[in-house]
Amino acid sequence: MPTIRPDRLLADLRHLRSIGAQGAGVVRPAFSAKDMEARRWLADRFADAGLEASIDGVGNVLGRSRNPGRAILLGSHSDTQPTGGWLDGALGVIYALEVARALAEDGATADLPVDVVSFQDEESRFLGCLGSRSLVGALTPDLEQGAADKDGVPLADAIRQAGLAGVPRARLARERYAGFIEAHIEQGPTLEDTGRRIGVVTGIVGLRGIRFTFRGQQNHAGTTMMRTRRDAAAALYELAHRINTAFPEAAAERTVWTMGRVRVEPNATSIVPGYAELDLQFRDASEAPLDRFEAIVADIVADMNARGGVRIEAAAARAPVAPTTMDAGLRRHLEAAAEKHVPGQWMRLPSGAFHDAGIVSAALPAAMLFIPSIGGISHDFGEDSRDDDIVLGCRVLADAVAAAAREAH
């Protein structure tokens, strides 16, 4: 079985962390200067590992094995949230690199084709899972044309500024691959709370998004009497609080919902706001609670619009993501490797976060492996995992990949 090198693994993870580091966190949003610097560094590492390295027209970094035969695709993403942690995405990319190196260095596995990838913009600066969508052919012109960041910068401008205009975009050759495996930090507390060191993901929750717009009348906060106001922010507060009050009854055990993005215009203390926006996102492993939430939202919006005053519109903020199931064959390889390294200390669990594996699963058998997140904290500068968990996860992944690639070969 292949032998990973813990020092090399941790050194590469820490080097990637240094690109865009801010305190303990990392600020490397998709297509930023730091993101592109990280991608060029990754391409060099992929080439050093003997892979054919390239950066495609949407920023995906690809490392293609020169070995013949059906391959396993490994990887994750290297872009981060606006104020992100150091392991989200980066872990799975450096694992992929280390596993490719370890397999190449072992005579028993050196013939196995393993490709590695770092996808672009998994974190939705412009369009969530942009890179994996592009690779599997799910990036429609419509989706792409409407994509812009929260400051209104269009995706096309960001691609041009990154020097990628006109660069070819890679498309997945499905017949080349036996499957895709993505390793990731859990980003939740379940492994830590239950004392497990490895998670084998059963499926990825579905996700829907609604953007509310509130159109009222901007006016002076001192002279406009309450009865004549059409205050867009007041309507936003009411809608948001009514959603938070009504959803618990309709939720399943692990259903989650978030209203994390607000915009109020002109956002000044002394002005009655004339316009506001609110994003609602909700997730569950099954469709039923998501359907119930949509019905509740429609009822509240209709009720508030019937009163007149502020006009509320609710529109799908993104293409809905259906719940997905991970491939049983690949899962068995992950489970066998986990049981070998930490018998009884691993578990099966769903992923509450969305991942590129959810996109790739439409084109290839896909699976995921989790390692514990300290305190369950993620999407935050405080995100971290223990070194021994990081090393263990890579060992489990290497064994599982070796077995899956041998089986496919």
When the beta carbons of 1 and 240 are compared against a second copy, the nearer one is 240
Q: Which two tokens stand for residue 160?
A: 């041009």
Are the C-beta atoms of 134 and 143 separated by less than 8 Å?
no
Are the C-beta atoms of 350 and 256 separated by less than 8 Å?
no
Give CA–CA dist 136/270, Å, rounded. Answer: 50
Give CA–CA dist 61/207, Å, rounded. Answer: 26
How many binding residues for a second copy (CB under 8 A)?
69
Are the C-beta atoms of 155 and 30 separated by less than 8 Å?
no
Binding piece for a second copy, criterion CB under 8 A, among 48-56, 131-139, 182-190, 397-405: 182-190
Give CA–CA dist 55/68, Å, rounded. Answer: 22
Region 309-348 residues binding a second copy, contact defined as CB under 8 A = 317
Provide CB contacts within 8 A for 175, sequence distance 6+: none
Give CA–CA dist 35/165, Å, rounded. Answer: 16
Region 362-381 residues binding a second copy, contact defined as CB under 8 A = 376-380
194 binds a second copy per the rule CB under 8 A? no
Distance in Å, CB of 108 to a second copy, minimum: 37
- Angstrom CA distances, 384 to 36, 260, 327, 360, stand at 23, 22, 28, 26
Distance in Å, CB of 124 to a second copy, minimum: 6
274 binds a second copy per the rule CB under 8 A? yes
Give CA–CA dist 175/262, Å, rounded. Answer: 44
Residue 350 neighbours by CB distance under 10 Å: 17
Residue corresponding to tokens 């590492």: 45
State the binding string over 22-61 for a second copy (x if CB under 8 A, else -). ----------------------------------------
When the beta carbons of 12 and 192 are compared against a second copy, the nearer one is 192
- Near a second copy by CB under 8 A: residue from 160, 174, 261, 340: 261
Region 101-140 residues binding a second copy, contact defined as CB under 8 A = 123-124, 128
Region 204-243 residues binding a second copy, contact defined as CB under 8 A = 205, 207, 209, 217-226, 228, 231, 233-234, 236-238, 240-242
Distance in Å, CB of 18 to a second copy, minimum: 22
When the beta carbons of 36 and 353 are compared against a second copy, the nearer one is 353
- Near a second copy by CB under 8 A: residue from 30, 91, 198, 272: 272
Distance in Å, CB of 273 to a second copy, minimum: 5
Closest CA to 123 of 398, 378, 350, 395: 378
Give CA–CA dist 12/90, Å, rounded. Answer: 10
Provide CB contacts within 8 A for 131, sequence distance 6+: 58, 59, 60, 77, 117, 118, 119, 120, 121, 122, 356
When the beta carbons of 54 and 217 are compared against a second copy, the nearer one is 217
Give CA–CA dist 101/106, Å, rounded. Answer: 9
- Angstrom CA distances, 1 to 98, 340, 345, 395, 397, stand at 14, 12, 21, 10, 11
Distance in Å, CB of 288 to a second copy, minimum: 17
Peptide bond into 266 cis (omega under 30): yes
- Near a second copy by CB under 8 A: residue from 83, 213, 286, 305: 83
146 binds a second copy per the rule CB under 8 A? no
Binding piece for a second copy, criterion CB under 8 A, among 35-43, 55-63, 95-103, 265-273: 265-273
82 binds a second copy per the rule CB under 8 A? yes
Give CA–CA dist 82/212, Å, rounded. Answer: 22
When the beta carbons of 67 and 224 are compared against a second copy, the nearer one is 224
Region 275-294 residues binding a second copy, contact defined as CB under 8 A = 279, 281, 283
Distance in Å, CB of 98 to a second copy, minimum: 25
Give CA–CA dist 370/354, Å, rounded. Answer: 13
Binding site for a second copy (CB under 8 A): 81-83, 123-124, 128, 150, 186-189, 205, 207, 209, 217-226, 228, 231, 233-234, 236-238, 240-242, 244, 248, 251, 254-262, 264, 266-274, 279, 281, 283, 317, 351-354, 376-380
